[in-house]
Amino acid sequence: MLRTTILAVFFLSGALFFTVFSLTFPAEFNQVFQGTLQWWLPPIFFSIVATYLLGVRTLAAHFLKTSRPYPTIGRYMNAFLETSIPTLVLIFMMQFRNPFYVLLMPPVYVYFIFIILSALRVDRLLSIFTGLVAALEYGALSVYALLYAEPVGMDPALAAPGGFLARFLFLAAAGITTGFVTRQIKHQLTASFEAGRERDKIADLFGQHVSPQVVDRLLSQNTEWLSESRHVCMMFLDIRDFTRFSQNREPEQVVNYLNSLFDFMIEMINEHQGYINKFLGDGFMAVFGAPISSGADVQNAVAAALKIVERVDSDSASGIIAPTRVGVGIHAGIAVTGHVGTTRKKEYTIIGDVVNLASRIEQLNKEFGSKILVSEDVWKELKDHKGEELGTVTVKGRDEAVRIFKLA
């Protein structure tokens, strides 16, 4: 529709130009047309052309609104009719001037406008067709001039058949070149559309809290999202005394409070190559190492936890947020990752003992009065981190005792 709008504006401008030209410079107008043409005929012609183009635009909008494709034969017929407009102008001009002069006049360049704008149809064959129609019609007029007209008073070089042949070839080449450009534009549009669909797919599968860097890596890897076993580091975070906090507050206050906390927590998780897999009311489960690994998943999880606790303590002390404490539990190990759900709704999830144990470790913060607890598997991979061993504890659902370390 943009193409027909541009062309309609072009021809309406032509109607205005001829109106002003004929009324302002009547002598020059009569000289061009040898005094045999009424001044209002060119504006009427250009207005009819513009009306036709606006009609085509309206029809295209109708097909677009009804989600129906514009008929192929209609597209080619319209391309033929539009490209023939400069030909009609040239034929008309030949009634007043020597055909050799006419074939060198500015209306010839209008062909190129139609050829260039054909790229907006995003159809390579239509662009080539437009160029061939322009070339053949100009070629037919050139043959007529060479056979039936005399180049009176013209430089022989300008009337030579080679010049007309060259313009014929230029028009055909312009169509082919525009077709090539159109093909490239279509490929790029298709690639952008596919990339957008892939990003939407990732956002749907992994939630809205995956960092742009993770999305780019997932796209570049062209992963098939198959279920697999992989080493991950799990983090569980819980806001302490949230039930008591929410009892005497309006729902809007509670939601705003959670959003103020989750806002910077999500940012810190993303900064450290992780992502939040699930929100758990007053907390969340984050994973480092799936669906892609940074190679330092444990270190990233611990660094993110320390920054979160530091930020919570700082904002609480300065009064930015209500007095808040959080508990964090971190454990690393092998988990099964993959998509769970139906064709309508799927979710990327992590399943395994590593998830359960990380959750149990987080709950131990209440018992020890701590903020960050990690398992022995996490502690072994840390370097230059201060902390203390709290000994072995028995957690629900496990027969073997677990060594626990306190980082904060």
Q: Region 194-198: what's the mean pLDDT?
A: 69
Q: Region 71-82: what's the mean pLDDT?
A: 90
CA atoms within 13 A of residue 293's CA, in its CB half-sphere? 14
CA distance 326 to 306: 11
> How confident is the model over 373-407, as pLDDT tens digits?
999 999 998 877 788 889 999 887 777 889 999 99
pTM: predicted TM-score of the whole model, two decimal places: 0.55
CA distance 289 to 335: 10
- The pLDDT assigned to 291 comes to 82
- The pLDDT assigned to 215 comes to 62
Residues, the chain: 408
| CB-count burial class (<10 Å; 0-12, 13-18, 19+) for 2 | exposed
Q: Region 65-72: what's the mean pLDDT?
A: 83
- The pLDDT assigned to 168 comes to 94
CA distance 232 to 296: 10
Query: Strands (DSSP E) along 34-74, which ranges?
Result: none
Helix (H, G, I), strand (E, B) or coil at 242: helix
Quickly state the pLDDT bin for 206 (edges 50, 70, 90): low
> How confident is the model over 338-375, as pLDDT tens digits?
777 666 666 778 888 999 999 999 999 999 999 999 99
> How confident is the model over 119-128, as pLDDT tens digits?
888 888 999 9
CA distance 255 to 77: 60
> How confident is the model over 248-298, as pLDDT tens digits?
788 888 888 998 899 999 999 989 989 888 888 889 999 998 888 888 999
Residue 299: how many other CB atoms lie within 10 Å: 19
> How confident is the model over 207-233, as pLDDT tens digits?
555 656 566 656 665 555 557 888 999
Q: Where are the alpha helices (DSSP H) in 124-280?
A: 124-148, 161-206, 212-221, 242-247, 251-271
Reading phi first (left if > 0) and then psi (alpha if -120 to 50, else beta), residue 385 is in beta
> How confident is the model over 19-34, as pLDDT tens digits?
888 888 888 888 777 7
Question: Which domains occur in the chain, in start order?
Answer: 2-200 (no CATH), 216-406 (3.30.70.1230)
| CB-count burial class (<10 Å; 0-12, 13-18, 19+) for 387 | middle
CA atoms within 13 A of residue 17's CA, in its CB half-sphere? 8
Residue 286: which of 199, 354, 217 has the closest Cα? 354
